[in-house]
Amino acid sequence: MVEEESNRGDEIMTLMKSKHILSFLLLAFTSLAHAQMDEKFYFPDKQWIPVADTIDTEDLFLTVDDDTIHALIVKPKQTPKASILFFHGNGDNVSKWLGHFRKLIDNGYQVCLFDYRGYGKSTGTPTHLNIASDAQLLFDTLLKRDDFKNTPFIIYGASIGTQAAVHTARNNNDKIMALVVDGMMASFTDVALVTSPKEYHEQIKSSLFSPYSAQEDVPYIRKIKVLFIHSPEDFMPIAQSKEVYETVACEKRFWEYTGEHVMAPLLYPDTLLKYMDELIIIK
């Protein structure tokens, strides 16, 4: 747990750095097309932390364009009671996010952690659009596997990963049971606004385009359960999550915890397990 908390501390530092870096880049790039801009939201990490031998894992590699996409599948010791597809934040890679799911894995959840292009063992450069398209390819691949297609399916996004997670949930609404969003922002444009000086907000609003956003996608999600996780202490304003939460038309819950950005799974693993178990209960 000490190592996991240290890794999360590194993640917080990366996020704080990204706030300042993004502000600088926004000043330089707001006049450019969004295709030249969106990759500036991501900070790929290639440093891989070895996964413990006691954990049952499988490396899944997919080829798209000239790049290789890597996902880490982690299996519980028992027959999986549900499967999770996880979208991480803009820092670290899946080897450093694995600690978020140890409690769930120990209690029967199968987790597929997806590294965007350029992160971990994936190659290439991440953009909003290729993350979304790679996610759909990975989702389709998982549903063809016997170990995934016969289990309740949950899509889980953290931090900036909430955007692609919600987008994937919208496009596969009839194939999943639940959606979890942790430390959400309403759109990529809102990320830029939160992390930039106010005097540049009008310029950002007029020139920065979000190719998809949670705010626009959530109203199209139906007949699944949605769990929002956010802290008032988060540097990403909790109002972002609450704004999107109000537009959800299906069964929903809001878990407000005390702690820093996306730290709930490490600080309150038992509570996370409780909420996750409730998501897969068929009424």
Tell me how crowded residue 222 is: count the other CB atoms within 10 A of its CB: 11
Domain topology for 2-47+58-279: Rossmann fold (3.40.50)
Q: How far apart are CA 167 and CA 211, in angstroms?
A: 10
Using alpha carbons, list the distances in angstroms from residue 181 to 21, 77, 88, 163, 204. Answer: 24, 26, 11, 9, 25
134 neighbors 117 (Cβ within 8 angstroms) = yes
Coil vs helix vs strand at 243 = helix
Residue type, 45: D
Report pLDDT digits (tens) over 142-177. 999 999 998 999 999 999 999 999 999 999 999 999
pLDDT at 271 over 90: yes
173 neighbors 104 (Cβ within 8 angstroms) = no
Compute the chain's Rg from CA coordinates. Answer: 18
In the chain, domain spans: 2-47+58-279
Report pLDDT digits (tens) over 11-66. 444 444 444 445 444 444 444 444 446 767 899 999 999 988 889 999 999 999 99
pLDDT at 129 over 70: yes
First-to-last alpha carbon distance for the chain, in angstroms, is: 35
Q: Which residues of 151-164 are buried (b: 16+ CB within 10 A; e: fewer)?
A: bbbbbbbbbbbbbb
Task: Tell me if the pTM is above 0.85.
Answer: yes
The encoded tokens of residue 53 equal 């031998």
Site of tokens 């080829």: 63
